[in-house]
Amino acid sequence: MTATDIGAFEEDGFTVARGLFSHDEIDRLRDRFTALHAAGPVPGHFAPRASEDPLLAYPRVMHPHEIDDLALRFLLDPRLRDVLETLFGEEVLAAQSMFYFKPPGARGQALHQDNFYLRAEPGTCVAAWVACDEIDRDNGGLEVVPGTHRMDVFCPEEADPGVSFAREYVPPPPGLSAVPVDMAPGDVLFFNGSLVHGSQPNRSADRFRRSFIGHYVGRSADRIGSFYRTITMSGERVPLAESAGAGPCGTEFAPHGPH
């Protein structure tokens, strides 16, 4: 991380490490999750089923590092650890992993804050969001609201189920607005757990918007939601006390019909 990168994270709440992973590495990760999807379901992690809703046919995979060695290696990759320890200023713990397929026609996730769900205390979490495709506004790329990382966790409103699979919606505070973050395969977006962010639906005809996400907390954190099973970057389990009000990232609406 350069001083400029660190400054951007401190000022805006996010920074992008371009090309942190090679295209070959990302190809292997995509292939692995394609195979996992074809072999699914895996109880407790994901359950694909035939549906007109693309997100039911290709649901996100929760905690894939617990069922797949390659996902675990990505979550604990030394390149991520080096950046995260710079951003946190201390040792980090991995709290969870996720993989999103986001096929054509899939809804997005309304603007939200990650620490609303993780409830890491004291402090907050940081996400490492790994692009696994060319990602832009057309296929539902991520949007962020710079500066909101300095604000408290908001009480969300209810999202529009026609455009968001998750219920929670945090409107941009007055004077602030969401900006898109276009990314290439192998780029990693690091962002603060209080940063308001989300995505629009994938409106492309034939492009997936796949991404691998890890959430991390500083070693000084002593509480987190029970859904999150913290481990060191060497893979040893480090149980933390349970914080109140936590849950999985994004409370999902009921199954969605054609859209």
Structural domains of the chain in order of their starting residue, each with its CATH number: 3-41+53-242 (2.60.120.620)
| pLDDT, position 1 | 82
Is-contact 132 210, C-beta < 8 A? yes
The predicted structure's pLDDT at residue 257: 42
Give the pLDDT confidence score for residue 254 in this predicted structure: 66
Q: Report the alpha-carbon distance of residue 228 to residue 117 in Å, rounded.
A: 10
Distance from C-alpha of 31 to C-alpha of 220, rounded to nearest angstrom: 36
Give the pLDDT score at 256.
47
HEC letters along 22-84: CHHHHHHHHHHHHHHHHHCCECCCECCCCCCCHHHHCCCEECHHHCCHHHHHHHCCHHHHHHH
Divide the 259 residues of the chain into consecutive groups of 10 and give the mean pLDDT of each group: 93 98 98 97 96 97 98 98 98 98 98 97 97 98 98 95 96 97 98 98 98 98 96 98 85 57
Contact 165, 248 (CB under 8 A): no
The span from the CA of 180 to the CA of 93, in Å, is: 28
- pLDDT for res 255: 56
Strands 125-131 and 211-218: antiparallel
Helix (H, G, I), strand (E, B) or coil at 92: strand
- What does the block give as tokens for 210? 């796949």
